[in-house]
Chains A and B, each alone.
Chain A
Amino acid sequence: MDPECSRLLPALCAVLADPSQAVADDTCLEKLLDWFKTVTEAGSSLLLLQENPCLVDLLSHVLDLKPQDVSPRVLSFSLCLAGTFAAQEDCFEYLQQGQLLLGLFGEAGPLSWAAWSVPTVRSGWIRGLRSLARHPSGLHFLGDSGALDALFSLQGDSSLFVASAASQLLVHVLALSMQGKAAGSPSPQGSAWPTCAQKIVDHVEACLCSTAAPQVTQALNVLTTTFGRCHSPWTEVLWGQLSPLVAHLLESDPIPAAHSLVDLLLSVARSGPRDMAVGGPSSPVFASADCGLWETMARMLSCLSPTQAGPLALGTLKVQHCPQALKSQAFKILLQPLVCILRATAQAPGPPGLLDETTEGGSMTVDTLLSSKSACVGLLCQTLAHLEELQPLPQRPLPWPQTLLVEAAVIVLQLCDGLAAPSSSEGGRLCGALAGCVRVQRAALDFLGTLSQGTSSWELMPQVFAVLLETLESPASSPTVLKKAFQATLRWLLDSPSPPTCLNLGPHAPLFLKELFPVLQKRLCSPCWEVRDSALEFLTHLTACWGGEADFREVLLASEVPKLTWQLLRDPESYVRASAVTAMGQLSSQGLQAASESSGHPEGQQGLVGELLHILSVDSEGFPRRAVARVFTEWLRDSHADVTRDTQWFVATVLQMVSRDLDWEVRAQGLELVQVFLAQTLGQPNPNCPYAVTLPKVTPPSPLPEVLRTLCQLHIFDFVFRALFDCDRPVAQKACDLLLFLKDKTAPCRGLQEPGDSSDVTSVEATLQRWQAGEQGEPLGNLEPEEVLAALRSMDLKGLQSRLAESSDHVEKSPQSLLQDVLATVAVLEENVADCY
């Protein structure tokens, strides 16, 4: 600990120990704890306590206070602090000598005080013990002090944080007490468990046999964490001992704590194969078929309700080494709701056999689907989300019934749109339950979007496109549904498989596009800004990917879409303006900008560049301006025709506007533009430079002096130097990197004479220093390349770069300032108290 902190520590302890001086802020106590933790991790705690006796004094003082005088915060802090110190065995012994630990954590301590009713105190008590339980002495202490019994009851604490922490600590203690035994071979006999472990296992066993669901849940949670965390031979013994009790739970109806049981089984299932995969010294746990895990899971799958079985089925399918039979049972359960829907709506069956085989539990699923609207919606959303999660995984079941899933997603969407007209009474009821249901629509669209990947059969595309079009077209579709529908459409369009004989976009996409664009037009006119925004985003992405396709270009140019997009540059909603800017930028890059400039917009005469510059200079919101800056950078990068007409004018004009912008992202984007410009004029930056721009190497770099002169004329240095001293760190960092790049480039420059100590250079440096001090009013004037070079050489850019790399609060984060802060807050509080009188 540094001496300054040591000096401040007694005062701090005095403040904390004084009940009349309340510490206002919990977070500073937490920071103090963090600091003590780093200090103790770095050195000896014992030494620390000996050098700073005020710390032990603080702990004993807390115990000496009358229980009602102790502030719960300080008490909780002291408990955590004591635990942190006691984590080292010698320090533990030291504290034990004074019976301090027993006083703090024993039955006569805070456990029996009134402050115990405050959750912070209980939480601090557990955290203290958690830190303390790291060595055999700590373990004995836990066993002897009666703390385990307190932990058992804290598992059912009213505060979820406390209950969870208690459960975690039990797991930790169990693992710790077994650590010593790890060398010996595990024995299934109960007598082989160490005392602490035995006590915990007994407790868990008792809870598992209990009829009260909360007790069962607690026991299952402890076990779930245990198997999730520890993969040692003893866990297999533990499972062997407890699995009959767990299996016994399945015999009750309803199954108690089904969710926790599912978690436990999955945790056990996951714990085995991982060991196998690692192939470590420990023997493969649970790999043997006789441990009964897979049977229990299979039984569980068959007796849980469809909603409860879903997560278990998904988890089972994700476990890599589970038996094939179990996998196929789980997959059937996962598919069941969709199969039921396909049946109820009398769709043609999917791959042969799948519909017939999945009859097991089918009636239960049908009952759930038809029982109520909320049950139906819940089950379907869950199923769709599970299948969506499974779809991209390598361990997904094979054969993957892609066709069935696509058909199911389509029919679910049709049911939601009210377009399906099933003849069966079940179908009618499903229609009623799902019609207009936004939740299911969103889930189904997400799922359908995922299914675009891996669809090899393009026969499905017409029905997918049809339902997407219906959803996009339907007046009943809510903005969020439309957003998802646009996303799904994009995925299907871009991933659309085309038959090998077909060129370009395949046979379906052009037809679909013809129908899509009128809908897109309508959505661009929607009174709801979210819809206009999603439509623009969709257009941007689609254009970016397909801007070169003849079919797409034809349909787009024949529509009103480019014109409408142009009009949306003046939208009252800033997000829409920003999206319109991006979309127009993209359209223009692809040469798809409509001939709308002449359509009655006076500003249109200046072209899109003029319109975008107008937004950049006058728009009151940041988003559209950022979008313009990004578009301009892209245009410069892609050598857009409007830019190449007069690149220098373009860069100068944009930078002039950007430099005045109040939004730091716009200024940072301006630096990006400069970076692209420099790369184009000076050539590629070094490979180690973070700005790895891939440019066609068509433009040979111009001679350096000439380039520098141009940069000076365009006032680029003025902009970059200002940015270097920007009050927003990312801008300054970027500017610094840029100048370093320039410095690097100009280092071998011999075409320019050394300016020496001319007065000009001095004045430039003086100005820059003033800028650094925050006085940026003064302009840099017309710079000469020589002055720039001199300035670059004289500046410690490397040093600046590393200073900027430190987080902005590095000064304030020092422990010293933390201690000062705590003391200062108390002082201020005292002053306020004095003022009152």
Chain B
Amino acid sequence: MGSAHSLPAEMRALAEKTGFTSDQIEHLHRRFKQLSRDQLTIRKENFDSIPDLEFNPIRSKIVHAFFDKRNLRQESDGLADEIDFEDFLTIMSYFRPIETSMDEEQLERFRRDKLKFLFHMYDSDRDGKITLHEYRNVVEELLSGNPHLEKEAARSIADGAMMEAASICVGQMGPDQVYEGITFEDFLKMWQGIDIETKMHVRFLNMEPIGHCY
């Protein structure tokens, strides 16, 4: 609690920027320090210390997302080596629940931001398109928790999903048309039916800090 009161101005700035309440920021800050071992920045290795994350099949994608500069709202591209607390908050803010006070436009932007985050997780080569290859990668990773499953199955699933994507986004393709990959616009289209804004959130409010996570 002590650190919160020592930097009220900085805190307020952060709260404004990310939309978190000061309580939440405090919680997250404590967690941040826990992860970074009291350093100012977090590096990739720090994520290794989270035991539960180890079993996550898409662990690398999640960790990647933290260092992806596109998610950090920076103009530049590529991967950051380390992130500071503000970046950490920025990433976390993608997972804020909607607020009732939001108007239509804000909601829409909110939704877009969330989807953009997900899109970046799929689009690992940053070309703005989820190609079949990338899609396969994702599905393979998703199913990697299951040793009995051959890669082939994952592939055919990815292929099927890609076909679906093509049929949703392009509809009837012309004979000369090539579906190169899912662009962000297509991605938006495909998520139309899913209420991402009510689903993509983590409860930051009543977080109970965990004493020992190492």
Q: Do A and B come from one complex?
A: no
